[in-house]
Amino acid sequence: MNAIALALRDAAAALSPVTQTPRLDAELLMAHALGIPREALLLGRHDGAVPPGFATLLARRLRHEPIAYITGTRAFWTIDLAVGPGVLVPRADSETLIEAAVEHFAGTSGPRTILDLGTGSGALLLAALDQWPEATGIGIDASDTAIKVARGNVRRLGMTGRARILSGGWTGTGGAHDLILCNPPYVATGDTLPPEVRDFEPASALFAGADGLDDYRRIAPLIGGQIAPGGIAAIEIGHAQAVAVTALLRAEGLPARVRRDLAGHDRCIIVYPVRL
């Protein structure tokens, strides 16, 4: 067994108490240290010495720092995003919102205008724009750090002419959009989180009051007027919040249904414009 293979084995063993994906984490760190994609590592780039920076990267992960912050990137849907401290790390669970939109617009030319409320890194907006190349969109966030990161991702992905990132809140742009995407904070203040989330990711993007519903209470009265006829809003929820969030939306006269993620957990509320 060569040096890199040994280092990967030892790193995975060391990471076992820290992460549920120790081998994957070790491979991502090694590939980053080597300056190659993980796929290239898996296809046989195992010769030579272990790069000198690998030990430092491993030490950071052993302190629970998220992989995405260490490598500076995160894959989401069909795109790769730059991420870093101050923005929420995109999760695969959030792809449920894109899946819901793909299903809704199947058989059509897709949404023409997209709005992403609480855009963070721009993950949902830019994934949707990659899915529908003819669409344009706006991402809105209250965080200056998130706005800077999202604008950087717009440039990196070559979407400057199609995407704008603005400062603001749940009120949006004042207009209606074919597709609204929204991943608001939904963690209750007393909930226990893994160290890599609790100690590193921004609290403002995570916590939403004693029951985790504060931002949904703000969103529910505002979202209906922002959905164009024939469009939808896809709003992410915590796995135990479907009943409460659906009730908030229906109290505003908005038709809503729940979509589950690949693990079978309630993950997305699909909201339809009011039928007059």
Q: What is the largest CA-CA distance in the chain?
A: 69
Per the CB < 8 A criterion, the answer to whether 65 and 15 are in contact is: no
DSSP assigned state of 89: P
Burial class of residue 205, CB neighbours in 10 A (0-12, 13-18, 19+): buried
pLDDT digits (tens, 9 = 90+) for 30-40: 999 999 999 99
Q: pLDDT band at 242, cuts 50/70/90?
A: very high
CATH 1.10.8 in the chain, residue ranges: 3-63
- The H or E element containing residue 101 is helix 95-104
Query: At residue 53, does pLDDT exceed 50?
Result: yes
Model pTM? 0.94
Range(s) of the chain covered by CATH 3.40.50.150: 87-271
CATH assignment of 3-63, given 3.30.460, 1.10.287, 3.20.20, 1.10.8?
1.10.8
Superfamily of domain 87-271: Vaccinia Virus protein VP39 (3.40.50.150)
